[in-house]
Amino acid sequence: MKTFFATIIFGILLGMAYALTCNKCSGQTSCNPVPATCNNSQVCLTVSGIFQSAGILQHLFIKKCGPKLPYCNQLVSVDSDFVDLSANVKCCETDLCNSQGYNVEVEEKENGVQCPACLGPSGDCSDTLTTMCSGSRNQCISVSMSYYDPTGKYMNLLMNGCASQSACDEESFIQFARFYSLNYNITASCTSGFCPHGNMSILVASVILAFKVVFI
């Protein structure tokens, strides 16, 4: 019996030993962390984010315990030409390891990929606009968000634009959106972007090859 209780106590202590202590705080580009004990399955997160819409730029900085996300240590980014959301998510697994400062850099250089772009009610959101993608945002994303507005009216919003591959998994996008307090019912899916310049390069190469075959 003593051995039985000793085993249980040892198991409890062993479980406690694997619970990390992480810095916890939130702000814009800085915050004052305090230690927090995580659940056994959690890791330490540092999230540096940018939200830009209608010319207004907002920053987001979070340190916390959280799940080990599928896009850890990557830039997660979505741009619809109307809303730009980006987050650099760092994950680590030792006590108080999330001590990094604010750091998110979005690549603005166009990558040649184009995607449909819109933001609005699902029935009114047209895909006639096209946006040029940049940096690692080489996927075309479609995000549907349903929610009740402050007046109690049910809303269904659709956003189309460019996204990094790390934002394309639906569960990943839901977790990503929660960093920005977008706790709506969300579905997300991606398709490959189209690259007209790339297609033109293939066409030109084919013409040159045909010219050589015929005339040389």
| Residue bearing tokens 């850099």 | 105
Half-sphere exposure of 88 (CA within 13 A, CB side): 13
pLDDT of residue 6: 46
Residue 126 burial (CB count, 10 A): 11
Which residues 6+ apart lie within 8 Å of 71 measured at CB? 89, 166, 167, 172, 176
Least confident of 3-12, 167-176, 177-186, 191-200: 3-12
DSSP 3-state of 7? helix
| Residue bearing tokens 């507005």 | 149
CB 31 within 8 A of CB 104: no
pLDDT of residue 128: 67
pLDDT of residue 161: 93
177, pLDDT greater than 50: yes
Confidence of residue 196 (pLDDT cuts 50, 70, 90): low
Chosen CATH of 20-106+113-197 out of 3.30.365.10, 2.10.60.10, 2.40.100.10, 2.40.30.10: 2.10.60.10
Task: Domain ranges for the chain, please list them.
Answer: 20-106+113-197
User: Does 150 or 24 have the greater pLDDT score?
Assistant: 24
CB 26 within 8 A of CB 46: no
Residue 44 burial (CB count, 10 A): 26
